[in-house]
């Protein structure tokens, strides 16, 4: 990669000189507070009830009853008294924390207070503003507004501007910058010929050719995929393979097509929520499915689900906002005005996912091998999900309204372990339950139209097993007459409490879940015919886990209850002619979908919202008050509100009103071209990061990117 010249390095390292008549908070005072004060008097600790993160707290009386800062009265400001004190018990910083402040820094603080102690928002948290460069030493040298900013700083530093690069050197630089590849001898020869005719046109043609190269997308996608923590494996223990390469290809296509950065942002954060979401918009959400997945046995699924949710929140802030958001998980930000509860308001946007330790990476979408069928496959997936929900809705409503009676099992015959009836009538299994285990229970025959299986949390076994998923691969009912003859009871339909699980329920089984994590689950099976009582007959129910899934959800049911309903409404509903036709449509769509060959890729899908609570000190086991989704007040704008959706959040980030998004991206582009950004700490634009070496230039580029170039990355690079 080309490295910056000595002149450019000198330009970028320049910093405003202290000592001007007007003391500026951001330039002169904030660095002093960040270096010497906020570790003890910030967001994490407020020793003596003093914090220098917020002006109102710095001006309020502290634990001592004295105000740290009294505007225009440095002599009455406790801060000044402590800075100048010779008493080791009073002086700040405390001797154990560091040496006293230099006299010039104390004098700056005094002058600032005397001038009114005016506070400023951190530069990165306010809107970029355009500053006109009025005059430069050589009006003929600049070829763009950017050159005027460069030359102005060179003039300030009394440095000459560089001479124009030789043709071969220029071509090599621009080729590496835009495609990551050197120019060929033929390309150099053609460029040198074109230079003779029209130098400006020759350079423009080279840039256009490189921006149009397929290698452009690969070179810049590599940068983005690092931010997306892209990996073709799960990232834990055995680290098995994960099919997420179609997302990589989508990123390459997006860069080559010069997708506007605001669209690029929204598609990855919430493409699935866009009206009429396309296959590519759904695929883009795989950005946040690059989280680590632990398929190791014995893990706590809720722990790893929360880890994935937190990763999504912190990665979003690192990638688009260059803010160290992760520390707010445990406490308010030590340096920036972001409160502890605002972290949990933000993770609420992602707190509806299903990151169980399962190797199928549910939810997923099919990316067809035949790209021309991508739209068809996506539409089939969406329509099947809609039909599944519509077909389930009547049974769900009926299950909640009809009377249920216990299935009074009096005989238990598990293939492994024991089945015990608890005092509340629920049935609990004990002992080792290997794959292939079958729970069998039976009772005297009883008339019914539907039977309900409730899978319950193992509350009495929480210490040993924090959470174990349960799956009934096969759910069978058999009537056994007085002579011992067994006749299977065929099932017609199954209704579930919440459609859209990783394993699709059928009338033959495939039901289960994580009852502690999700709450008690229920599934209603309706037989093909009404079940009537026959004298001397018994009814047997068997539940088998056949090993058809992997991970912890592969264990059989540990605690459950069986109930029956004899309401005639079940029969009328499942035999309704319109419902029969709907099932035919569903089966037709499913057959068409199955016929399409492709790769299953993990993506984001909105699920029922979970309650989000603040974790005390970041500990998920110590839950405090509930919060609704939202963004930090620090950056709130017309796009933000409490209770906003994940799509609202994505649009907030992609808005030109957001002061960070454009700055962060143009700084990243600058860093890729010159080796380091205008802000050296590319992932920390907060007060603990480095200030921009040229703030006016950074703002100019950010405004050009978001407004003049309408978020076009190629236009920005050009």
Q: List, for residues 29-53, the tens digit of each pLDDT value.
A: 888 888 888 878 876 777 878 888 7
Residue 462: the pLDDT is 46
Residue 706: the pLDDT is 96
Which of 35-49, 54-68, 76-90 comes out lowest in average pLDDT?
35-49
Kindly state the DSSP code that residue 3 receives in the 8-state scheme.
P
Nearest-angstrom CA–CA distance, 512 and 508:
13
- Angstrom CA distances, 630 to 148, 405, 618, stand at 41, 44, 18
Pinpoint the alpha helices (H) of 438-534: 515-518
Nearest-angstrom CA–CA distance, 2 and 5:
9
- Is there a cis peptide before residue 363, judged by omega within 30 degrees of 0? yes
Residue 516: the pLDDT is 67
Residue 459: the pLDDT is 60
| Count of H-run helices and E-run strands, the chain | 23, 18
Q: List, for residues 613-637, the tens digit of each pLDDT value.
A: 999 888 888 888 999 999 998 888 7
Q: List, for residues 338-367, the tens digit of each pLDDT value.
A: 888 999 999 999 998 766 555 557 888 999
Mean pLDDT of the chain: 86
For 375-435, give the secondary structure using H, E and C.
HHHHHHHHHHHHHHHHHHHHHHHHHHHCCCEECCCCEECCCCCEEEECCCCCEEEECCCCC
Residue 60: the pLDDT is 85
| pLDDT beyond 60 at 2 | no
Q: Highest mean pLDDT range out of 32-36, 260-264, 440-444? A: 260-264
What angle in degrees, to the nearest 10, is found between the helix axes of 661-674 and 695-703? 110
| pLDDT beyond 70 at 608 | yes
Q: List, for residues 555-599, the tens digit of each pLDDT value.
A: 667 788 999 999 999 999 999 999 999 999 999 999 999 999 999
Among 619, 522, 519, residue whose Cα is nearest residue 561: 522
Q: List, for residues 309-338, the tens digit of each pLDDT value.
A: 999 999 999 999 999 998 888 888 887 888
Q: List, for residues 277-317, the tens digit of each pLDDT value.
A: 999 999 999 999 998 877 666 566 678 788 889 999 999 99
Nearest-angstrom CA–CA distance, 346 and 628:
9
Residue 500: the pLDDT is 64
Pinpoint the alpha helices (H) of 555-688: 569-574, 577-595, 646-653, 661-674
Q: List, for residues 103-129, the tens digit of each pLDDT value.
A: 989 999 999 999 988 888 889 999 999
Kindly state the DSSP code that residue 266 receives in the 8-state scheme.
H
Give the pairing of strands 364-368 and 450-455: unpaired
């Amino acid at each position: 990669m080309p490295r910056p010249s000595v002149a450019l390095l000198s330009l970028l390292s320049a910093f405003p000189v202290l000592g001007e008549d007007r003391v500026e908070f951001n330039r002169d005072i904030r660095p002093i507070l960040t270096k010497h004060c906020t570790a003890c008097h910030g967001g994490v600790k407020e020793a003596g009830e003093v914090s220098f993160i917020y002006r109102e707290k710095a001006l309020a009386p502290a634990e001592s009853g004295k105000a740290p800062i009294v505007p225009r009265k440095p002599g009455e400001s406790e801060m000044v008294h402590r800075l100048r004190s010779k008493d080791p018990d009073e002086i700040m910083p405390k001797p154990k924390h560091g040496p006293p402040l230099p006299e010039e820094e104390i004098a700056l603080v005094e002058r600032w207070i005397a001038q009114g102690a005016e506070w400023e928002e951190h530069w990165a948290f306010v809107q970029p503003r355009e500053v006109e460069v009025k005059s430069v030493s050589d009006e003929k040298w600049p070829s763009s507004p950017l050159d005027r900013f460069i030359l102005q700083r060179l003039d300030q530093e009394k440095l000459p501007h560089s001479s124009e690069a030789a043709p071969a050197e220029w071509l090599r630089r621009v080729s590496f910058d835009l495609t990551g590849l050197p120019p060929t001898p033929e390309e150099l020869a053609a460029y040198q010929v074109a230079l003779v005719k029209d130098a400006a046109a020759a350079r423009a043609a080279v840039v256009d050719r490189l921006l149009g190269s397929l290698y452009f997308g690969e070179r810049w996608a590599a940068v983005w995929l690092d931010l997306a923590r892209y990996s073709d494996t799960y990232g834990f223990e055995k680290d098995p393979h994960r099919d997420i390469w179609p997302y990589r290809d989508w990123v390459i296509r997006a860069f080559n097509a010069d997708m506007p950065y605001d669209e690029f942002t929204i598609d990855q954060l919430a493409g699935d929520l866009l009206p009429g979401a396309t296959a590519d918009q759904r695929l883009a959400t795989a950005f946040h499915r690059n989280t680590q997945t632990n398929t190791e046995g014995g893990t706590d699924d809720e722990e790893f689900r929360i880890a994935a949710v937190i990763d999504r929140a912190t990665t979003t802030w690192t990638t688009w906002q260059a803010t160290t958001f992760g520390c707010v998980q445990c406490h308010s930000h030590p340096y920036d005005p972001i409160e502890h509860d605002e972290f949990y308001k933000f993770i609420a946007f992602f707190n509806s996912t299903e990151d169980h330790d399962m190797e199928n990476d549910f939810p997923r979408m099919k990316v067809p091998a035949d790209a021309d069928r991508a739209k068809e496959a996506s539409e089939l997936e969406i329509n099947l999900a809609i039909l599944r929900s519509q077909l389930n809705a009547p049974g769900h409503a009926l299950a909640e309204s009809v009377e249920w009676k216990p299935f009074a099992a009096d005989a238990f015959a598990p293939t492994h372990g024991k089945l015990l009836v608890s005092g509340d009538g629920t049935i609990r299994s004990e002992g080792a339950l290997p794959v292939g285990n079958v729970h069998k229970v039976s009772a005297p025959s009883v008339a019914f139209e539907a039977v309900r299986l409730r899978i319950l949390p193992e509350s009495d076994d929480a210490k040993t097993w924090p959470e174990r998923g349960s799956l009934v691969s096969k759910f069978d009912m058999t009537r056994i007459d007085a002579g011992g003859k067994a006749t299977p009871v065929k099932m017609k339909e199954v209704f579930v409490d919440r459609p859209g699980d990783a394993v699709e329920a059928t009338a033959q089984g495939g039901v289960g879940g994580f009852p502690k994590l999700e709450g008690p689950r229920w599934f209603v099976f309706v037989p093909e015919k009404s079940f009537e009582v026959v004298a001397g007959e018994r009814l047997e129910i068997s539940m088998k886990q056949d090993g058809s899934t992997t991970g912890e959800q592969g264990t059989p049911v540990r605690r459950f209850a069986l109930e029956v309903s004899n309401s005639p409404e079940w029969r009328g509903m499942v035999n309704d002619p319109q419902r029969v036709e709907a099932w035919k449509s569903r089966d037709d769509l499913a057959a068409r979908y199955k016929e399409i060959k492709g790769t299953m890729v993990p993506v984001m899908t909105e699920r029922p919202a979970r309650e989000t609570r603040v974790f005390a000190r970041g500990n998920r086991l110590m839950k405090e008050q509930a919060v609704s989704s939202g963004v930090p007040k620090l950056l709130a704008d017309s796009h933000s509100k409490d209770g906003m959706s994940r799509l609202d959040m994505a649009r907030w980030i992609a808005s030109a009103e957001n002061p960070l998004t454009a700055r962060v991206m143009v700084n990243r582009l600058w860093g890729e071209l010159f080796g380091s950004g205008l802000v050296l700490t590319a992932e920390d634009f907060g007060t603990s990061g480095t200030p921009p070496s040229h703030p006016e230039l950074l703002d100019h580029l950010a405004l050009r990117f978001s407004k003049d170039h309408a978020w076009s990355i190629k236009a920005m690079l050009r």
